[in-house]
Every structure is written in structure tokens, then in C-alpha cells.
Structure 1
């Protein structure tokens, strides 16, 4: 079979600003394994080498989810712009936004898209427990719609108020896993999207583009039930479109960290082929494992070669306005 390139949308770094004591402590960088932290800091030759090993021609780099002020976001975005500009088109970028200062979000998003040619933004699932379904955050969503760029809603650790929910008759290590990557931050990200829908956001911003990682943050499995149960509420009469319509028309999902063909089968059954995109979650996930997953998926012949290529890179090209060329790549058009 011919080689089909890969484009990954969920791959992270840590800026110099966020390595300073106060932010680093909030991010718990001291708990990251040394090799992971080194890969997060570096956006250059070593990252490119790992991409080559995994068959990734273009990587969209974003900061790990963080709640920082407008000044720190600006410095982070400027650093990322400088870093990727030096790497001859192998990278594109998602903006870091000051989600804790909603009045500053829209202007920074506009600056990043217009001046730095970023292709959207990746934001943490909540800002210290605050979700983005309220009126303070409407300008952010309106700006993204106006600029025609996606917002990637990314899981993050639970707020301090929510932490006791995960305590139980097991170790702190298991406690942490349940509250984060083993379960809750995926479920909570799916919950956030439901809150956005229920708030009427997609009536106000009908062309908004949302990206959900990890094969849709549990939503594909629950689509039918969510649709039926929300339809029983009085509020449903005010929504212009159903939940499944919004999912089909406003959402893209990625494979980040979910390298399981059986799980992908469910997403293929519930999600339009042009809304499914490959991603890795570098450096927290292995590029080699993700490559093997795509080999297994292709060999399973669950979709046509053309549809496989759409998932591998073409859908992301169309969403982000970038192009991957066989043997090389270039960033934003």
C-alpha cells in the first residue's frame, strides 16, 4: 500500500512563562517524568525526529491546558510562533487563551489568527471550575465563529471543589487516575459540551466549530440517550436544532490517545466520516503506538482508501486551512 501522511492536531508544549515557579506549581510540572517534560519544552529537531518515526508530516502544537493571564498568554503565543516559524512548515499552532479573563479572550484570539497565522485555539475544559456557557464567554465563541477557526475543548484536571468526588477505598494514584485520564476529565469534557448546547450557544453561533479529542469525549456512545432525554425538557422547544444535529454539523472529533480500532468502530457508526481526524496527544502518547493503530485501522478495511486518507489528514486540512504534501508539508495557507 502507498504511504498516506498523518496530520496530528493535539500535540503539546510548555512555554518558558509556564515553567516559572507559580505556574509550574499549578501545572504540577515537577510530577512529570523527566523525558516527558523535556519533550514538552522542546519544539525543534527532537520533535521532528519523533514525527518522522510516526509518519506525521504536520503537527498542530498547543500549550498543555492552563489558566493564565492575558500577558502570559501573549508571551506563550509569541514564543510558539517563533518556535514553529523556524521549522520550515512542519508545524501549525493553536492559541493559548486567557480563559480566566473572559474580557481579554477575543482580542488575543484575533491577534493569534490574524497576526501569527494560528489555526484556532485549544482551551482547558474549565477555568478553575468555571465553564464557558455563560454570557461572559459569548464574545470568545463569537470571535471564533467570525474568524472561522475551531476551538479545541481539551480535558483538564478537576477543580479543587470536585476533587473529593474521586476519593475512595484505593490509593491516591488510582484516585488521581479516575479523576483525570482514566475517566472523569473525558466525561466532564462531554458534560461541558452538553452545557454549551443547552445554553443555546449554537443558536447564537450557528457556524461555530468545536473539536473534541479522545474519540469525542464519550459523546458518541451517549448520543441517542442525550437526544431523547433532552427532548423531554421544556427548554428543548427553544433550541433550533437537536443535539444530534449540532453534533453532526458543529463538531469534529480526533483519535488522540484512543488507539483502539474497536472504539473507533463506534465513532464511525455515529459520526460523519468528514468529522473524524487522526491525532496523537504528544508527548503523553507514543507516536509509534499511534502509527501502529493507523496501520491496523487501514488493514481492517473498515473504510475506503479515500476515507482513510480523510481521517489521516484531509479532514484536518479542510478544517484548519493547511496542506500536507506527500514527502513534505507546509503550514497555514
Structure 2
């Protein structure tokens, strides 16, 4: 069975230096695995039975950097990603990095990444210098993704400083940091981001826009019935019920969420055609993820959809 994993991160020394990203506080520091896009990574993929990773620059990538750094760095990352893919075209594909602090440059980079470099979409890490993607300034990014017919992967980002101060202050630093991010906080930041896209009418303006959420939908499957009850009666300007946009414009991945109960709920809400396998490498373990995929209580046709067919269709992978 072919297995494609689509939320799989990498870094370059230049990116880590520019962002000052320090991962040493994590229990299993992924620093070296992020930097390896050849031998060790491929060996890890082989050991777990993963055929192809869709690579994305580790967050926050270039989004919080000044234009003078972010714009040229995004170009170097995307051009370098093309070279990584070119060295192993049967093992890697890639999402473009966008310098979203500069909308014109982000649009240029999205066009360049898709049309010139052959990348399969773009990954955005949370808010862009305090703006959600439903902000009017960000409309050209959404329009371009819809026109190019490529998805945007809406990945979590570190909460803005006012949110960190209000919600996560007063805790021991490693614990508070984890609570603010992978432990809880950024999943709900991402679900809020997705809901803002819906209720602001983004998908009425760009009905072909496709968005991917990680972590089994960032909590949306659990809350969607309540969301429908509470928001749709007030969303007078929308063309359709709130829940219908999640069924039509969103896909979700398994990244970091290898749990049978949440998976079954996600199946009920989104359906088998909208779920894509992901690991969240190197933050999650390849072998744990593929072992879970192989033991899922689903028929083989469904397992093939999850493992590769849905990703093949969404991203044009063959």
C-alpha cells in the first residue's frame, strides 16, 4: 500500500537562524531531523513504509520576519525545496513558503512556487503579523490559490503576544509553552481561523478555494453541530449553512492524532474522501503513525483513500 504523508516539516540553517527557533525545550529535540532532507529522513520513511512526504518549512517560517529578510528567504526556501524534490522526485513533494507579511510578495511567491517550481500548494502558519486570512488585505492570496487550483494548508502558529499574556502566563515555561501550542492552544486558534474564513464569506467569494486543516480538523469535528446551531442563524450574508462549507471546502489530516475515537468522529463529520494521512514529522513518529493507519478498523478501499488516494487527488500526486 502506497503511503503519502502531507504535513511533514523541514528546515534550513538559514531559516533557523533567521527565526531564532529554539526547540531544545522539547522532550525529543527535532532539530537535527528537521535539517536532514536526505539520508536519515529517507531511512526513517523507509522503516515506517512511507513512500512520499510533502515537505513544508517549519513554522513560523518567514511569516513574522521583516520584509527585507522574509521575501528573499522565502524565495531561497522554495527554490531550495525544488532542488530537494528534484534529487528524490519519487519521495518528496512540497508546499510553498509565503512571506505573508507582504501580501504582494506572498502572491508572487505562490505563483512562482506553483507555476515555476511545481510545488503542490502552500502552507500558512496561523496569523500573518496579527492578521487572519479573512482580513481584506489577504484576499489576493486566497484569490490566487483558488485561481491556481491549489490548496492552502492552514497550519497552527504561535498565538500573538497579547493572547499568550492573557491565557498562558503564570505557568512554568515549558508547560505554559506547550499548553499554548501543541498541547492545546494552537488547535483552537486554527479552528477559529477556519471559522473566520467561513463566516466572513471567503468561500462565497472564492468557491473553489480549498483549505487543509491538520490534527483531525483542529477540534472542528467535535464542535461542528454546536457551531451550526449557534452561527448559521446569525450568518445572514452567507449563501449556505456554516457546516456546508466544511463539507465542501475543507480537508483534514491525521497529523499527530493517531487516536481511534477522534478519527471515527472525523469520519462521521467529514467523510472518508476528506481525510488525508499525515505524521507531523519530525514532531511525531513515522512508525507510530503508519502502524496506527494499518490497524484501523476500515476496509481496504477506505485505507487506500486515507493512505494516498485522497492526497493524490487533492494535490495532483501520481
Instruction: Report the TM-score, using the length of structure 2 for normalisation.
Output: 0.94
1:41 paired residue number:
35
Asked whether 1:15 is paired with 2:8, we answer no
- CA contact 1:17–1:75 (8 Å) conserved in 2: no
Matched, 1:132 2:133: yes
Deviation at 1:32, TM superposition (A): 5.8
Deviation by residue 1:31-56 (Cα, 9 ceiling, x = unmatched) = 56785111111111111111111111
Deviation for aligned residue 1:106 = 1.3
Does residue 53 in structure 1 map to residue 50 in structure 2? Answer: no
**1:154 aligned to 2:192?**
no
Please state if 1:310 is matched with 2:309: no
Q: Which runs of 5+ in 2 are unaligned?
A: none
CA offset at residue 170 of structure 1? 4.2
Q: Give, in whole Å, the separation in 1 of the partners of 2:92 and 2:121.
A: 13
Q: Distance in 1 between matches of 2:165 and 2:264?
A: 35
What is the aligned residue count?
Answer: 311
Give 5+ residue unaligned stretches, structure 1.
324-333
Report the CA distance between 1:231 and its aligned residue.
1.9
1:326 alignment partner in structure 2:
none
Deviation string 1:296-324 (CA, Å, 9 cap, x unpaired) is 21xx2xx321111101110000000012x
Higher mean C-alpha displacement, 81-90 vs 309-318? 81-90
| Offset of residue 172 of structure 1 | 2.3
- Asked if the contact 2:25/2:174 (under 8 Å) is kept, the reply is no
Asked if structure 1 preserves the Cα contact closer than 8 Å seen for 2:272 and 2:306, the reply is yes
1:259 alignment counterpart = 258
CA deviation profile, 1:85-105 (whole Å, cap 9, x unmatched) = 111421000000011111211
1:239 & 1:231 partners in 2: Cα distance? 8
Displaced runs of 4 or more, over 6 A = none
In 1, Cα distance between the equivalents of 2:53 and 2:223? 30
Return the alpha-carbon distance in structure 2 between the equivalents of residues 309 and 270 of structure 1: 19
Instruction: Confirm or deny: 8 A CA contact 1:15 1:79 kept in the other structure.
Output: no
Provide the rounded CA distance (Å) in 1 between the counterparts of 2:26 and 2:108. 32
Whether the aligned pair in 2 keeps the contact of 1:10 and 1:281 (CA below 8 Å) is: yes
1:247 aligns with 2:246: yes
In the superposition, the TM-score normalised over structure 1's length comes to 0.90
Contact 1:255 1:279 in 2 (8 A): yes
Q: Is the 8 A contact 2:293 2:303 kept in 1?
A: no
Q: Which residue of 2 aligns with 1:232?
A: 233
